[in-house]
Chains A and B, each alone.
Chain A
Amino acid sequence: MSNSGAGASGLSGWGNYPRVSTELLAPQTPAGARDHLLARSGVVARGAGRAYGDAAIGTQSTISSRGLNRMRSFDAATAQLTVEAGVTIADILAAFEPRGFFLKVVPGTKFVTVGGAIAADVHGKNHHRDGGFGNIVVSFRLALPGGEILTCSRSENAALFAATLGGMGLTGMILEATLQLLPIETAWLRQDTRVAGNLDAAIDQLESSASTTYSVAWIDCLARGAALGRSLVYLAEHATRRDKDMLGPDLAPFPSVRTSRLSVPELFPGWLLNRASMRAFNELYFRRGAAHQGKVRLVHWDPYFFPLDAIADWNRIYGRRGFVQYQCVIPQGRARRVLAHILDRVSRRGDASFLAVLKLLGDASGLMSFPLRGYTLTMDFPVTETLFAFLDQLDALVVDAGGRLYLAKDARQSRATFESGYPGLAALRDIRQQTGANTRLASHLSARLGI
């Protein structure tokens, strides 16, 4: 919250790479945020700092939205909620889940802010059906670098609205947003687990369950050869009151959320993450998952949607040098061959996270949104001397297949890779020119990628 907190030690994203110095501003009101924006250049807004790379670090100044943490209003008749940009998804769920409302689109962590979720147009396990976070945004108020505050929606300032979804904060600073909430009957998910023996089987499974609301495959990255891409595929729907009464008659429809969280010590010893322990863990994980196959069970929304949130600061397990989360999407027709190739390269290299996530995505909601109709693969790599050259080789496969990389995760892709993946770039540049954002709003990501 300090006005100069990031000076000497620097600021980083969730991956702890890169770490760079910037002036960190912490306004306490939307008006204060707008005043900072007006007075600075080389500036970008920052939410909870959950983007992995350099997206939310201004080249000179960074405006934290954490002080913009007030909810504004809720209309029960329309289920529309208006909040300031620094309110988190966790805040919203804590207040509204007990009243029978959920968010139709949630990412893999609930600790992101609404402003950040819009700026990255985050997606969830239902993107193939329901689209990105932008689809539940009714409107938002955007502060432009000149100090003007505009209301943007699909009918008002529509071009700016579309450019801000996935626009990584480069069109202005989101001050407030109105979201469409989803009525739910219970806090439970009805989950069905399927075992897929290899990548083809996993993709077949995701393809055939495209009408299921939530689907995701967890890939065992240590499996090789014929078992390459061995996965557990989790399919789920919100449980209705009737589902709950059948599957868990003794369970409360909206149980209170447990607050206890594990925490990773400041310096997690790297040797705990060796291949023998990972292999043993994966074996256990898959056996446990396989034991659930074919049995429909009730899972609470918190562990279902946000499994890693149970471990506070899990990013510390990669130590001081940090890590990169690599997330690419490959168009549907090319996905099987290209993803098999990538997985094979990764498993041969041998230092990726032991689990990778595979999801089916639908069409993009915004001009710069990451998703496209195809498959997205996500995995973590500790930062080492050889990592970036290796990832450049994966990038070449992605570019060749017409895919792209997720900007919210990115810390290192080249301009060429970026430009080939994002055809909306020219239109974004036009809009930035019109609003004056091109000379004033700059993150380390935008400077690196020439946005």
Chain B
Amino acid sequence: MTGTKSILVIGGSSDIGHATALRYAREGWRVTLAARDLEAAQRNADDIRTRSGVEATVQALDVLQTGQLAGFVAGLSALPDTVVCVVGELGDQLRAQTDPELATTIMRTNFEAPSLLLELFAQAFEARGSGTIVGVSSVAGDRGRASNYYYGAAKAGFSQFLSGLRNRLALAGKVRVVTVKPGFVRTKMTAHMKLPAPLTVQPDRVAEDIFGADVMKPRDVIYVARRFWLVMTIICALPEPVFKRMRI
């Protein structure tokens, strides 16, 4: 039934991108992985093709070259049914505080570039009259914290962009927008960090929930793990005079 559908993953060299593409491929979806690191993306595509038996290809894309985004979308051999953007970079917060160039890169990678690219897909999907846009944001965008506020601020911007885009497209009802807010995920990005086990999930859990929110039971905003919704609700409810003295 879904055999002819296709998914494009932006950030296809990442662990969450790999897991997400594989989840869709297991249901017969054709996969394209777009990434700057083509060798890593090819390794993921080979894995997906071998495990699922479906077609998996790679496409070069550096999202920070924002002038080339329109050409990338126009140049796709076929518009995918679902586009998932998992582009993100945690960056080094301490260094970013004294290195404006790094701070700029963190903000551009997590907010500016994904937003500009997904707007282009929104327009192409609108013109076609169908499609799902999945943006992987972060719980870090729900409230700014000392430990990662460049990353958090950019993710906050991305979450708001997705919210507005969903609001714009909902009236016509043809194109859906899903916001995904992972908490702690065991990936290359977090390999150096000590993460609290009860709140930490594997990339394939994020993939499962993305597939669920897109295909199985449509939803607008999902937290992974789900219990993070409660954690963030509490954190967001703390009065600023209290929150500003906390180290969480």
Contacts and interface: CB of A to CB of B under 8 A. Distances in A.
B47 A72 contact: yes
Interface in B9-54: 40, 43-44, 46-47, 49-53
Interface in A58-83: 70-74, 81-83
A3 B191 contact: yes
Contacts of A386: none
Contacts, number: 36
B192 A2 contact: yes
A3 B192 contact: yes
Contacts of B40: 29
A95 interface: yes
* Top-7 shortest CB links A-B: A71-B50, A70-B47, A95-B51, A71-B47, A74-B50, A1-B191, A28-B188
A95 B44 contact: no
B212 to A, nearest CB: 16
A51 interface: no
B95 interface: no
A367 interface: no
B46 A72 contact: yes
Given A72-B50, A74-B50, A81-B50, A29 B192 contact: no
Contacts of A189: none
Contact of B43 (A29, A82, A91, A99): A29
A70 B192 contact: no
Contacts of A99: 53
Contacts of B52: 95
A254 B72 CA distance: 42
Contacts of B155: none
B51 A71 contact: yes
A91 B22 CA distance: 13
Of B49, B51, B186, B194, chain A has the most CB atoms within 10 Å of the CB of B51
Contacts of B44: 70
A98 B26 CA distance: 12
Nearest to A1: B191
Secondary structure dominating the interface of B: helix
Contacts of A29: 40, 43
18 contacts: A1-B186, A1-B191, A2-B191, A2-B192, A2-B194, A29-B40, A29-B43, A70-B44, A70-B46, A72-B46, A72-B47, A72-B50, A73-B49, A73-B50, A74-B53, A81-B50, A91-B51, A95-B51
Nearest to B47: A70
Of B46, B47, B53, B192, chain A has the most CB atoms within 10 Å of the CB of B47
A82 B46 CA distance: 10
A163 to B, nearest CB: 29
A180 to B, nearest CB: 15
A143 interface: no
Interface of B: 40, 43-44, 46-47, 49-53, 186, 188, 191-192, 194
A72 B43 CA distance: 7
Query: For this complex, into which size category does the number of interface residues on chain A fall?
Result: 10 to 19
B71 to A, nearest CB: 30
A74 B52 CA distance: 10
Interface in A1-20: 1-3
Contacts of B188: 28
A72 B44 CA distance: 9
A26 interface: yes
Contacts of B194: 2
B191 A73 contact: no
B193 to A, nearest CB: 8
A2 B195 CA distance: 10
A26 B40 CA distance: 17
Contacts of A83: 50
Nearest to B193: A2
A192 B50 CA distance: 35
B191 A70 contact: no
Given A1-B186, A29-B43, A70-B44, A95 B192 contact: no
Contacts of B43: 29, 70
B186 A73 contact: no
A72 B49 CA distance: 8
Given A83-B50, A95-B50, 14 more contacts: A1-B186, A2-B194, A3-B191, A70-B46, A72-B46, A72-B50, A73-B46, A73-B49, A73-B50, A74-B53, A91-B51, A95-B51, A95-B52, A99-B53
B43 to A, nearest CB: 5
B84 to A, nearest CB: 19
Contacts of B47: 70-72
A240 B105 CA distance: 59
A74 B51 CA distance: 9
Contacts of B49: 73
Nearest to A99: B53
A356 B194 CA distance: 40
Contacts of A73: 46, 49-50
Contacts of A71: 46-47, 50-51
B145 to A, nearest CB: 22
A26 B188 CA distance: 10
A73 B186 CA distance: 26
Nearest to A3: B192
Interface string A29-52: 100000000000000000000000
A95 B186 CA distance: 23
B53 A26 contact: no
B19 to A, nearest CB: 11
Of A3, A71, A73, A83, chain B has the most CB atoms within 10 Å of the CB of A71
Nearest to A31: B39
A439 B233 CA distance: 56
Nearest to A70: B47
Contacts of A91: 51
A26 B51 contact: no
A173 B49 CA distance: 26
A26 B47 CA distance: 19
Interface string A161-187: 000000000000000000000000000
A70 B44 CA distance: 7
